[in-house]
Amino acid sequence: MSIPHAVARHLTVSLIAVAVAFRAAAAAIAPDTTAIVNTAGAVALRWTGRSGQFYRIESSPDLLTWTPVPGEYKGTGAALSPQVRAPGAATEPRTFWRVVAAERSFFTLAYPQLFSPVIGTAIVPLAAGVTFPDSRSPISFAITAGSLPDGCSLDPATGTITGTPTTAGTSTATIRVTNGSLSADTIVALLVTPPPPCLVDLGVADYSAGKKGAFPRNPWDMTYFAGRLYIGQGNSDNQDSPDTNAGPMKIVSLQPGTPGFRYDGYGTSATLPEEQIDVIKVIDGALYIPGHDPNINQTIRTLYRRTAESEVWTQSQSTNADEGTSWGVHCYDIIGFGGKLITSGYVNAVSADGGLTWTNAGHSFRGTALFAVAGKLYCVTADALWIDEYDPGTQRFFSRNDLSVQFWARFMPGIQGPSPFFEAKNYGAKIVRPVMIGSRALYLAGYESSDHQTRTTDVYLARSLAQGAYDVVRTTPVNEAPWDLLARGTTAYLLTSRRTTAAGTNEKFVVSIWQSTADLTGWTFLWSSPELATFARSFEEVNGDFFLGLGTDDGTTTAGPWDQTYTTGLKADSGRILWLRR
């Protein structure tokens, strides 16, 4: 760019103007700036400040290193002309100045995030981080709204927060720093808990930008990834449950140890065009959400992805002219197998490029679960209970007639409910929530509830599904209803519940967590909750702690004789997230 300059006496002044974008969506615009030198040798810079923009001046002797000059200027549409050199200043080598523009103030305040403090334990002092303070003026700090936890205080001179919390709960304080002419605010939120072990109520997540209600608040899945815990909610039912087709969805997440939920969409959109987020899985270092029920177009299959390096979710879409709506209407599960991504639905699909493009992997009677046993990949269907096997050579699934509905006892022996075989067809029994440990798989089985949700009744260990060598055992703890499974290395965890009072409006539930035995054929009791108003539908383990997502059944028996509701009516605590701090 051209560098306007002026010469006065023996003083040479050079000036450049640049912009710094503090917001990627709206970069600041560098102003046209001129240098003014009066006869006394004073130097001022003049530019017109755009309304809503902020400016500071930086100086350099060599155009390589730059030093901020004290002071910040806010644009109002009028001319600005701050002085950068006083009259009578000694002659100096050539000096360069630049005006830096931004969409927000350079004067900012921030504090490090503190993991939940404990009652009776002094917190690590939180030092104030102030950017671009004006060295010509002292700064001071004050709380302008809210409060810090009881027992903690703010130093008005340094901004440091110290103390020993005395009361459990969430405290939020707005802290302001000022240097007399400028001020900056930030919010400090701290979640204080009793000494571990304890059960902490984190509040109710708001899943939807569409319909609201207890049933769509069900946390169908919870997955920890890159410092955040993600929660899948919504309702893709078309009938037989409250608040059907509840989208569009928000991706709900929280940062363990800090209060509050965050709500994301994909790209620049605030929401996802989905009716329900049912499955959230970590595969090969990335986090995936298959499009459970897209409301864009039923011919479009969707997939959402984020990486450990970026918290921005991206969406990929695919279509298949031969399959039409069968291709896009539902995608129930996703798995990594043989270096590829594979999804299940009315049509299974395989991708070799991380989900950007897909090829047809064969028809399915609504595949609800994908899992591997002894090196072979299987897909379990729900509309006609069946297990299909994947052929890596053809990259397609083929039906295993020996694992069809009439042979249900080979893969869900002793299921606690009616026989899954109804006149050679099954409109009720399902397999969901599979996890793999080594060459073995564990999964939950149960019955269709409401339209196409699931009321799980049993947990199974599958060691072989090879023809003629079936090895599947039921491992359900006595008198417990299983809801979710986790795999951590060679260990599995199971989430269950049991009703402790008679069914009715005042019924109570106890939620339990179990750890697998070394051979995975049984469960060792780990923890139980106090009595709760409802059960927990999902859970997740993070650094030895557990997070529980409370849920509800639809409260009615409508889909068929196998659809027996688990709760009496809808439960208001559905969507509440509890933290078992151990």
CB 163 within 8 A of CB 149: yes
Burial class (CB in 10 A: 0-12, 13-18, 19+), 530: exposed
CATH topology for the 5-102 domain: Immunoglobulin-like (2.60.40)
Q: Do domains 5-102 and 108-192 have the same CATH topology?
A: yes
What token pair was written down for 169? 């709960």
pLDDT band at 427 (very low <50, low <70, confident <90, very high): low
| pLDDT value at residue 424 | 38
Task: Quote the pLDDT of residue 420.
Answer: 86
Handedness of CA 403, 405, 410, 416 (dihedral sign): positive
pLDDT tens-place string over residues 431-442: 999 999 999 999
Q: Is the pLDDT of residue 76 over 70?
A: yes
Domain 203-478 has CATH 2.60.40: no
**Percent of residues, the chain, with pLDDT higher than 70:** 92
- Residue 481, helix vs strand vs coil: strand
For the cut 90, the answer to whether the pLDDT of residue 3 exceeds it is no
Name the band, by pLDDT with cuts 50, 70 and 90, for residue 321.
Answer: confident
Q: Which of 50-54, 416-420, 543-547 has the highest mean pLDDT?
A: 543-547
| pLDDT confidence of residue 504 | 82
**CATH superfamily of domain region 108-192:** Immunoglobulins (2.60.40.10)
Res 440: pLDDT: 98
Q: Is the peptide bond before 248 cis (omega within 30 degrees of 0)?
A: yes
In sequence order, which residues have a C-beta less than 8 Å from that of residue 300 and are 6 or more positions away?
Answer: 294, 317, 318, 319, 327, 328
Mean pLDDT of the chain: 90
Three-state SS at 163: strand
Question: Within 13 Å of residue 121, how many CA atoms lie on the same side as its CB?
Answer: 13
Domain range summary for the chain, segments of one domain joined by +: 5-102, 108-192, 203-478
The distance of Cα 287 from the centroid of its chain, to the nearest Å, equals 9
For the segment 486-524, what is each residue's pLDDT rounded down to a tens digit? 999 999 999 999 999 988 888 999 999 999 999 999 999
Closest CA to 178 of 151, 140, 211: 140
Start-to-end C-alpha separation, the chain = 61
pLDDT at 64 over 80: yes
Q: Tell me, what's the pLDDT at 258? A: 96
- DSSP state letters, 322-378: TTTHHHHS-EEEEEEETTEEEEEESEEEEESSTTSS-EEEEE-S-EEEEEEETTEEE
**Do 237 and 220 form a contact (C-beta atoms < 8 A)?**
no
CA distances from 306 to 124, 280, 524 (A): 32, 11, 35
Distance of alpha carbon 464 from alpha carbon 448, whole angstroms: 25
Q: Is the per-residue pLDDT at 87 higher than 90? A: no
> pLDDT at residue 1 above 60?
no
| Per-residue pLDDT reduced to its tens digit, 241-284 | 899 999 999 999 999 999 999 999 999 999 999 999 999 999 99
CA distances for 287 relative to 229, 317, 367, angstroms: 11, 16, 21
Q: Which has more pLDDT, 253 or 328?
A: 253
Residues 307-336: what's their mean pLDDT? 93
Q: 362-391, pLDDT tens digit by residue?
A: 988 889 999 999 999 999 998 889 999 999
How confident is the model at residue 223, as a pLDDT? 98
pTM, to two decimals: 0.89
